[in-house]
Amino acid sequence: MGLRVCSASGNVEVPHGAVDHARLLCKVVEGDNPESIKRKRIRGVVRKIEGEYTNWLGECGRGDCFLMLTSLAKSARYLGRKVQQGTAGFKQDDEWSGVSPFFSPGVNDWLCALLQRSASFVTGPEECMVLLTVAVDLELGDTQTLRQLCGWVTGKQYTLRASLEELVCVLRLISLLVKRCRMPIPSLDNMLFRLLGATLDSRQSLTVLSSMVRLRERSSVDVVRCISRRATVTVNSYTVRDVIYALEAISLLNCCHEAYAGAVLDRCTVLCVELKPTELGSVCKYVALLNVSRANNSIALACARELRRLLPALLSRTEALLGRFSLRDARCVLRCLEQHNVRHSVVFSRLTPLVSDLK
């Protein structure tokens, strides 16, 4: 008897095998149905996979493993998280179970076995990158297999011949694996050595800096300073989203070049009039950290003049957006103003009750 999956036009009959489920996932993702219908169908297929996977433990060969993993990865954005503390949102070391937040523990173990089997057949960095991307999308915490795969793309042979775009992509993937899957940081010396002497465009520079934020690699201070210094000339092209990512790197790494930090703060001042409430909250979240009361905060001292120009612009934009802030954004704005000793009776009288009432 076949598997029935509910669709907008009725029930669809499909076979029971792992490959058939994987192909059905691809078909749904690539179809023209509305997002809500896709989400409903994909979650229905995944529920069937959860009930049937024990029958497929010896069924999946090399190609089948790869197909199942990539199909689920394509479907990841439609899946619901099963636990509160997912791999990307853990709070303490003892709270992370190592199980993907999208699947039950049994299915997680099965998918890790498929990942391990697929990794044993990898013949080049291209296949390796696909599997690493799958692990990031599905948050599979098989750190031993992930480290084995990372060896393909962090070794000297690959890093010497890879393009800068490929190296930046690898660094981003590794940083996501460290954050979401708790993979120990592999040796990045070969990759960072190439990036240290490279000329990156604005997008590549931001990607590297954001990756360094996730890695928190103390030995990468020279790389961060060098890349951020070279990126200074591209700051005038930054969008609001770019500025937020840059402020995150500046405030959390505390080793970006002072010229870059100053240019980003000035760019933020220019863009303040365009900020939406959520964007203003994100900007304030990181600007709050750039205050002289924080220990070893050299950026706040070096960029004091730029901060003095930015804070009135943030205050003016806050006043213009009063009544539109979420609790999260209101908290970020208030904290920023308090940390920098900015006082405005109207702003504080409107935002403080919101934060106090919803605590």
Task: Examine residue 62 and state whether it is found in any structural domain, yes or no.
Answer: no
pLDDT at 352: 67
Other C-beta atoms within 10 Å of 198: how many? 16
Distance CA 266, CA 260 (A): 10
Q: Which of 187, 191, 259, 179 is nearest to 223 (CA)?
A: 191
Distance CA 145, CA 148 (A): 5
Task: Examine residue 58 and state whether it is found in any structural domain, yes or no.
Answer: no
Distance CA 118, CA 129 (A): 12
Q: Is 3 helix (H, G, I), strand (E, B) or coil?
A: strand
Task: Examine residue 273 and state whether it is found in any structural domain, yes or no.
Answer: yes
Beta strands in the chain (DSSP E): 3-7, 10-14
If one counts the domains in the chain, the total is 1
Tokens of 245: 């990512």
Helices and strands, counts by H and E, the chain: 18, 2
pLDDT at 212: 95
Q: Supply the pTM of this predicted model.
A: 0.86
* Burial of 306 per CB tally in 10 Å (0-12, 13-18, 19+): buried
Calculate the CA 195 to chain-centre distance.
21
Task: Examine residue 35 and state whether it is found in any structural domain, yes or no.
Answer: no
Task: Examine residue 239 and state whether it is found in any structural domain, yes or no.
Answer: yes
For 13, phi then psi, to 5°, come to: -95, 125
pLDDT at 342: 83
Q: Is 292 helix (H, G, I), strand (E, B) or coil?
A: coil
Distance CA 264, CA 135 (A): 33
The amino acid at 202? S
pLDDT at 98: 74
Task: Examine residue 272 and state whether it is found in any structural domain, yes or no.
Answer: yes
Distance CA 310, CA 250 (A): 15
Other C-beta atoms within 10 Å of 261: how many? 27
Task: Examine residue 134 and state whether it is found in any structural domain, yes or no.
Answer: no
Other C-beta atoms within 10 Å of 149: how many? 28
Distance CA 129, CA 172 (A): 11
Task: Examine residue 333 and state whether it is found in any structural domain, yes or no.
Answer: yes
Residue 338, domain extent:
199-291+302-359
pLDDT at 91: 45
* Beta bridge pairs of residue 13: 4
pLDDT at 219: 67
pLDDT per residue as tens, the chain (359 positions)? 344 444 444 444 444 588 899 999 999 999 999 999 999 999 999 999 999 888 887 777 778 899 999 999 999 999 988 754 444 444 444 455 678 999 999 999 999 999 999 999 999 999 999 999 999 999 999 999 999 999 999 999 999 999 999 999 999 999 999 999 999 999 999 999 999 988 999 999 999 999 999 998 766 889 999 999 999 999 999 999 999 999 999 999 989 999 999 999 999 999 999 999 999 999 999 999 999 888 778 899 999 999 999 999 999 999 899 888 888 998 999 999 989 988 766 666 666 655 554 44
Do the Cβ atoms of 213 and 286 come closer than 8 Å?
A: no
